A and B are shown apart, each in its own frame.
Chain A
């Protein structure tokens, strides 16, 4: 059994967002972190590995520096890593990205008992589209918003967290599951010995040449050209003005507050 965990390097939200002239993010010039939901997905996968001894493979698509993130995931306990990286893949939107990742996982092979884990969504685009699109393109079942799961042979019972409760659903492998950040699945730390070993664990780079014969890979279905999304503008929102503090708990303060809200047509 092998678990592929799809992970994404996202801009550190405490830093400044840099944008390319074509409106896409200039990822190379920004401080990056591992997307939170993806870390929860990795933790879920590593717990399954602790229980079953299965293989965990971290997969990402990104520029060469994304290797640093993959090494961190190897230091946490992943067995191997795959970096999908090529100029031809640059500027991909969710459609093109899922096209390429699907091709890469197909290329690597998805067995009967295998699972693909993704984070629910990335904090940069917040689309939550890549995971479900991979499942559609690979023609496998998908379950989203997973908070917890239990695996018995080829069956998985997933607890989905929804806004007003949870839902349990049974699914057959191979399948794709998107995970949410959950207090139960706080990502483990890299261990010191994991760090000692992470640069000697296998990391495969899949470039355009490696994937070009996959049926999903066509020059008009990948990269900026193959992306139906048009970005109008990317920018850091300007800071809002300083708030006003009203002090006191008497009627006058309340009246003042109400008047201000009325004035702004908020009530």
Chain B
């Protein structure tokens, strides 16, 4: 058993940390305030190659897999959760196209979504289809005369939806079959009938621009069907398994930073004539925070390792996300508590980290739906 990163992964971690410190941290508070997507920083991520992680190099990607994603996303999350979320969620679309796409689809879309600096999005959620992803109502009815699917309906809470140029959208190509009639389509935001509705004002990860999408007779060429007709639910669930490791990485990163900030502050803050780090109450807080974060890290990397080595990882992906998300809330809360009044002020990053951490318990499947996934895997259906 070997827990060490490869030498290339060590360098990836180093450059991700440098990038996070130089490019992401300086804008983190601003993104939180303005709720505007950081277009320039996303392009810089593409220049370095972060947006092509998990995509083969022949299609403009930078190779690697789940472990590389965890490394980059968790380093980003230390300094700016919005940016970590943007990268983590962006990667779902190119990775799904790389896995299920035809050669033509890969050649057409992957270079744009990797080195091209264009944003991808993954659109499954609808007002009535959240945890119950099978209740999707958006339809994509095939028109044999034009060889196109006609997309109607809408999606909500789509991260990056207002900025993405290439989106993987899930719709019913055969509504009579329910879940088995769901298919995945590659949709471009320039297709007539595609529009962006409300951009949500959120509690956290404000810079990721979460949008409502509206489809009115969007005509999608048949060659944009991703995988086969009826394969949509499977594609969505597999993509979400991988995405959950990405959320685990976000939760891990913000927790690690919160532990570091709490340790630093506890050494600096003097009360009753000595640093508060000398108080056993604080020491025990830190011990709990560090231990739980270490455990979260191990589980996140284990899930990534399982995915990268081609082993089943659905249960572990759910476990690592559930555990890391609960830990992120626990740790950011205590780190804020250790900072006292200063932690509550916007001059310090803790209150933002505390708000940002909360989303990890909700998106890409709530903690509750993860418990359903895990209990089924452990107990049988």
Task: Spell out A's residues near B (CB within 8 Å).
Answer: 71-72, 75, 189-196, 198-199
Chain B, residue nearest A76 (CB): B15
Contact A198 B11 (CB under 8 A): yes
**Measured between alpha carbons, how far is A64 from B86 in the docked complex, in Å?**
40
Contact indicator per residue, chain B 1-39, by CB within 8 Å of chain A (1) or not (0): 000000110011011001100000000000000000000
Partner of B48, one of A72, A191, A199: A191
**Measured between alpha carbons, how far is A72 from B12 in the docked complex, in Å?**
10
* Band of interface residues on B: 10 to 19
Q: Is the interface of A mostly helix, strand, loop or mixed?
A: helix
Task: Spell out B's residues near A (CB within 8 Å).
Answer: 7-8, 11-12, 14-15, 18-19, 47-50, 52-53, 57, 62-64, 68
Residues of B within 8 A of A199 (CB): 7-8
Partner of A195, one of B8, B18, B47, B57: B8
Contact B7 A192 (CB under 8 A): no
Q: Is the interface of B mostly helix, strand, loop or mixed?
A: helix
A-B complex: 8 closest residue pairs judged by Cβ atoms: A192-B49, A192-B62, A195-B11, A190-B15, A191-B49, A189-B48, A193-B62, A195-B8
Residues of A within 8 A of B11 (CB): 71-72, 75, 190, 195, 198
Chain A, residue nearest B6 (CB): A199
Contact A195 B19 (CB under 8 A): no
Chain B, residue nearest A75 (CB): B11
**Measured between alpha carbons, how far is A72 from B18 in the docked complex, in Å?**
13
Residues of B within 8 A of A191 (CB): 47-49, 62
Contact A192 B12 (CB under 8 A): yes
Residues of B within 8 A of A72 (CB): 11, 14
Chain B, residue nearest A187 (CB): B18
Instruction: Please name 8 pairs of A and B residues whose Cβ atoms are closer than 8 Å in the assembled complex, sorted by A.
Output: A191-B62, A192-B50, A192-B52, A192-B64, A192-B68, A195-B15, A196-B8, A196-B62
Given pairs A190-B14, A191-B62, 20 additional interface contacts (CB within 8 A): A72-B11, A189-B15, A189-B18, A191-B48, A191-B49, A192-B15, A192-B48, A192-B49, A192-B62, A192-B63, A193-B49, A193-B57, A195-B8, A195-B11, A196-B8, A196-B57, A196-B62, A196-B64, A198-B8, A199-B7
